[in-house]
Amino acid sequence: MRFGIVGAGKMGGEIEAMASRRGHDVVWKLGSRENTGGAGLTRERLSDADVVFEFTNPAAAAQNLSALARAGATVVCGTTGWDGELPRIVEEFRSGGGALVHAANFSVGVRQFFELAKLGAQLYPPAGYAAYLVEEHHAEKRDAPSGTARRIAAIVESESGTAPSIASVRAGTVPGLHRLVFESPEDEVELVHRARGRAGFARGAVWAAERIAGQRGVFEFGQLLGEARGQS
């Protein structure tokens, strides 16, 4: 497949490497300088790419996604922190006829962690345990808590009726760590997901691109994974 990448940062580089490992071609890659206000998303570039990856920052993503939706593009977006714009973006993709798959976390290991969090929240709070969540990311990550932490907290709240508190650490080069703890006065139980690098996010994002090509509409990554599990 032919890929375009918006966001020439850490994830842009990981996706380029993973795409080539899986036999795809990256036909263009845009940094912020070439794409002020989405100006780099020209008709010519978009017609060259089967799927466009969007990994930038929350403000840029909201603009880029609108431009991509209007052009009817097929997009994999992993940028975090723009959830407030989701209803508008969904509408724009529906009326533009393109496709979008989005996720705050494209790691398959994290997606399975959501299932473990759900099970933990079904088992421990009814037995008198309280939950809290700690997430750690590299110093450059702008949003806190992470989208993944907010998702885990929402799962725990919906299963147990109580939202866990979240502590966020932004330091060093940590690719991503989420620790969900259930504690009682006597003991504690921890569920930990520790990313070893960014390749796991890139693998999931490229898989999503392979999966969404030729489809229309808006999907969350977990939906595509669930459908794939159903078929296997």
Ligand X SMILES: NC(=O)c1ccc[n+]([C@@H]2O[C@H](COP(=O)([O-])OP(=O)(O)OC[C@H]3O[C@@H](n4cnc5c(N)ncnc54)[C@H](OP(=O)(O)O)[C@@H]3O)[C@@H](O)[C@H]2O)c1
Confirm whether 29 is a catalytic residue.
Answer: no
Rounded Cα distance between 4 and 179, Å, is 34
Q: In the range 140-199, which residues lie near ligand X by CB under 6 A?
A: 140-141, 198
Asked if residue 42 binds ligand X (CB under 6 A), the reply is no
> Of the listed 137, 138, 178, 193, which one is catalytic?
137
Binding marks (x or -) toward ligand X, 112..131, rule CB under 6 A? --------------------
Confirm whether 24 is a catalytic residue.
Answer: no
**Shortest Å distance, C-beta 230 to ligand X:** 23
Binder among 66, 74, 79, 160 for ligand X (CB under 6 A): 79
What are the structure tokens assigned to 27, written together? 């036909």
Q: Which of 9, 1, 7, 8 is nearest to 27 (CA)?
A: 1
The answer to whether the CB of 51 falls within 8 A of the CB of 3 is yes
Block residue for tokens 């759900």: 118
Asked if residue 29 binds ligand X (CB under 6 A), the reply is no
| CB nearer ligand X, residue 104 or residue 131 | 104
Asked if residue 66 binds ligand X (CB under 6 A), the reply is no
Asked if residue 5 binds ligand X (CB under 6 A), the reply is no
Q: How many residues bind ligand X (CB under 6 A)?
A: 28
Task: Give the dihedral of Cα atoms 222, 227, 231, 232; nearest 10 deg.
Answer: 0
Binder among 105, 151, 182, 209 for ligand X (CB under 6 A): 105
The answer to whether the CB of 94 falls within 8 A of the CB of 66 is no
**Shortest Å distance, C-beta 3 to ligand X:** 15
**Shortest Å distance, C-beta 138 to ligand X:** 8
The answer to whether the CB of 176 falls within 8 A of the CB of 147 is no
| CB nearer ligand X, residue 169 or residue 189 | 169
Contacts 24+ apart (CB under 8 A), 41-44: 41/6, 41/67, 41/68, 41/71, 41/73, 43/71
Catalytic sites, residue numbers: 137, 141
